[in-house]
Amino acid sequence: MSFTRARSYHHGDLRAELLQRAEATLRESGVDGLSLRQLARDIGVSHAAPTRHFRDKQALLDAIAVAGFERLGDSFENLTSTGSFTEPMRAMARTYLRFATDNAELLALMFARRYSPVAGDAMSRAVDRAFATPIALIAAAQDRGEIIPGDPRRIALTAVAALQGLATFLGSGLVVAEDADAWLDETVAHLMLGLRPR
């Protein structure tokens, strides 16, 4: 059955397979290498079939971005906020930067600010969940007096922004990839201790 399913008239789970295949193509060939027609050809379906599941190409890209934020949220899941704050903070930073370097094309898509208005709902849910762990981390450290007071969301997002920028610089080659770990440590140290001498 499952052998012939791909050749039957109705595919069965075309939406899921389109998404999965699109993510693979994105990783291998970048956004520019992603075409709806090629995708349909790869799966063995007519070029017009994807329209049923994604109204246009942007809708597919939006769905990939949502899946990306969900995966980012998953990768934060086993972070703990116990112990001295520096360690959870460094673990979060490593997780984010690892996701960023392992999924460079995907990350660019996630922050490409091209979402269709329609995508907003599922998108913002996934985004909120992805950043929930860093925010909770900051809040827990504040309770222990290890972090200055202030809105934990704002503090968390400025911290993650520093990592996001570092990921961008790494991706562009402005910072050489081999030194990524050293840059990561330095970024965390600067964030925690500041640039002004103590």
Partner DNA sequence: ACCTGAACACCGTTCAAGT
Q: Does 117 bind a copy of itself (CB under 8 A)?
A: no
CB of 115 to DNA, least distance (A): 14
Do residues 43 and 35 touch, judged by C-beta distance below 8 A?
A: no
Dihedral angle computed from the Cα positions of residues 39, 42, 46 and 50, in that order, rounded to the nearest 10 degrees = -30
Site for DNA in 48-67 (CB under 7 A): 48-49, 51-53, 55-58
Residues 6 or more apart whose CB falls under 8 angstroms from that of 185 comprise 90
C-alpha 174/C-alpha 176 separation (Å) is 6
* C-alpha distances out from residue 164 to 12, 61, 99, 150, Å: 38, 20, 10, 21
From candidates 56, 169, 176, 181, binder to a copy of itself by CB under 8 A: 169
* Closest alpha carbon to 68 in 34, 116, 108: 108
Judged by CB under 7 A, which stretch of 40-48, 74-82, 104-112, 164-172 contacts DNA? 40-48
* Closest alpha carbon to 96 in 110, 84, 85: 110
Q: How far from chain centre, in Å, is Cα 145? A: 30
Q: Does 30 bind a copy of itself (CB under 8 A)?
A: yes
72: buried, middle or exposed (CB in 10 Å: 19+, 13-18, 0-12)?
Answer: buried
Number of helices and strands (H, E) in the chain?
9, 0
Closest to a copy of itself by CB, 19 vs 167, is: 167
96-115 footprint of DNA as x/- string (CB under 7 A): --------------------
Q: Does 114 bind a copy of itself (CB under 8 A)?
A: yes
Residue 53 interacting entry, from DNA, a copy of itself, none, C-beta within 5 to 8 Å by type: DNA
From candidates 64, 126, 155, 180, binder to a copy of itself by CB under 8 A: 155
- Tell me which residues touch a copy of itself (CB under 8 A): 30, 32, 104, 108, 110-115, 127, 145-148, 150, 154-155, 157-166, 168-169, 171-175, 183, 186-187, 190-198
- Tell me which residues touch DNA (CB under 7 A): 9-12, 14, 34-38, 40, 45-49, 51-53, 55-58
